[in-house]
Amino acid sequence: MKLTVLGAGREVGKSAVLMESRNSRILMDYGVKIRPEPPEYAPLPPEKPDAVVISHAHLDHSGALPRLYGKWKLPAYMTDVTLNLTQLLIEDSIKIAKKEGYKMPFSEVELAKAVKQTNTINYGQPFKAGNLNCSLFDAGHIPGSASVLVKGDKNLLYTGDIHNEPTSLLRGARLPKGVDVLVTESTYAGRNRVPREKEEEKLIESVEEVIAEGETALIPAFAVGRAQEVLLLLEKYAKYIALDGMAKKATGIVSSHGHRIKDAKKLQGVLDKIMWVRSEKGRAAAMKNRPIILSSAGMLSGGPIISYLRRIADDKEARIMFTGYLVEDSPGWGVLNNKVYNNEGEKFDINCRVEQYELSAHASREGLMRIIEETNPSQVVCVHGDSCEQFAKEIRKTGREAFAPANGETIEL
């Protein structure tokens, strides 16, 4: 069996892993590295794959998918909600590229072809890619996220992005037995992560303070996953929340696939009480009537959140509450670290309070170790991390073979 890392080798971004076994080729994920700009797309595989499987909708795993369809015809496999969310995010990335003047290796035409050739698959439902039997397992990362089990000469599990703890939104990852080769994400392999319950408590305390004091809180959130998670965390305060940006559409998609989340009824209850903002006029009304504004984009790279940010930047009684990781040099990172918003030619000082809560959707370092122990593979391939080589070295100490291939490298397993 051969494995070629086309992207996400010793880095986070543009995930793409090609597996070859029994005369079949399966591509797992086909993403884009969004930052630093301009975006970098996963390279084309050297030969046509028999199938492509997309683990989840985040663009660093799905954002290059249409590129394949400019050259080939091949089936794609993913869960139903992943298809809808992927389409939403790629359409948005095409819009952004047009606005910013980036060249993309595909257009709406190839996206439509990709959607047409996609088969939606349930967790646990067997499907065949080339000569290989495959199935998907809930990865607990965002709604619809999946790890991919491929049965070739050896049984390989590709984790995708994985989170093996339950959250307010998701149940947590499920793992198969009988894994020979584990291709694991390594996001937190070399980083410490604060316990999530503590962060959730702090976030709720801060929101309670805002409501009691009659202040305003702006919560930037990733449209997919994080926005719905925060809505559920703040269930009790739903009547104080306004929702804006692409997070609205993403939330609509997630709630229409209620079987993919932990408690669809609870989410619907929240959605019935919040204010859905649809215009600039609505934004002014939200600022008056709703102390908690939840909006994308999570790193302040664009979207209606900027309109709110301008309004509260000089208000010392207001606060910005980041709910996740900020890529270095993203506009959100500048707000948190330098108290300056600087993006697309616009620059202003931030004089309100800035807070950060780490609600990670990835396994912690201990979580990754637990995944390795539970699946018990003889070989581990570390991808999608800043310290993959160090992680592989530590895994080798536990008596398993471990690799951290660079982009473009092929390993024989």
Report the nearest approach of Zn ion to the CB of residue 157 (Å). 17
Please, are residues 248 and 231 in contact by the beta-carbon 8 Å criterion?
no
Interface stretch with Zn ion, choices 16-24, 55-63, 240-248, 318-326 (CB under 5 A): 55-63
Q: Which is nearer to Zn ion, 146 or 267 (CB)?
A: 146
Report the nearest approach of Zn ion to the CB of residue 175 (Å). 18
Report the nearest approach of Zn ion to the CB of residue 307 (Å). 27
318-322/353-356 β-pairing: parallel
Report the nearest approach of Zn ion to the CB of residue 108 (Å). 24
Q: Which is nearer to Zn ion, 10 or 58 (CB)?
A: 58
Report the nearest approach of Zn ion to the CB of residue 276 (Å). 26
Report the nearest approach of Zn ion to the CB of residue 61 (Å). 6
CA distance 294 to 160: 27
Count of residues that bind Zn ion according to CB under 5 A: 2
CA–CA distance from 203 to each of 180, 247, 311, 348, 358 (Å)? 41, 19, 22, 26, 9
Q: Which is nearer to Zn ion, 58 or 257 (CB)?
A: 58
Q: Which is nearer to Zn ion, 110 or 161 (CB)?
A: 161
Interface stretch with Zn ion, choices 27-35, 78-86, 158-166, 173-181 (CB under 5 A): 158-166
Report the nearest approach of Zn ion to the CB of residue 14 (Å). 12
Question: How much is the CA Rg of the chain, to the nearest whole Å?
Answer: 21
Interface stretch with Zn ion, choices 54-62, 183-191, 294-302, 372-380 (CB under 5 A): 54-62
Residue 257 sits in the site that holds Zn ion (CB under 5 A)? no
Q: Which is nearer to Zn ion, 110 or 185 (CB)?
A: 185
Residue 161 sits in the site that holds Zn ion (CB under 5 A)? yes
Report the nearest approach of Zn ion to the CB of residue 359 (Å). 13
Residues between 164 and 203 that touch Zn ion (CB under 5 A): none
Q: Which is nearer to Zn ion, 20 or 161 (CB)?
A: 161
CA–CA distance from 11 to each of 183, 238, 274, 388 (Å)? 14, 38, 38, 8
Q: Which is nearer to Zn ion, 12 or 132 (CB)?
A: 12
Q: Which is nearer to Zn ion, 161 or 199 (CB)?
A: 161
Please, are residues 63 and 110 in contact by the beta-carbon 8 Å criterion?
no
Cβ neighbours around 347 below 10 Å, total:
10
Which residues touch 41 (CB under 8 Å, ≥6 apart)? 14, 32, 33, 63, 64, 67, 104, 105
Interface stretch with Zn ion, choices 17-25, 56-64, 129-137, 177-185 (CB under 5 A): 56-64
CA nearest neighbour of 244 among 289, 299, 307, 288: 307
Residues between 313 and 352 that touch Zn ion (CB under 5 A): none
Q: Which is nearer to Zn ion, 85 or 238 (CB)?
A: 85
Report the nearest approach of Zn ion to the CB of residue 32 (Å). 12
Residues between 57 and 86 that touch Zn ion (CB under 5 A): 58
Q: Which residues bind Zn ion (CB under 5 A)?
A: 58, 161
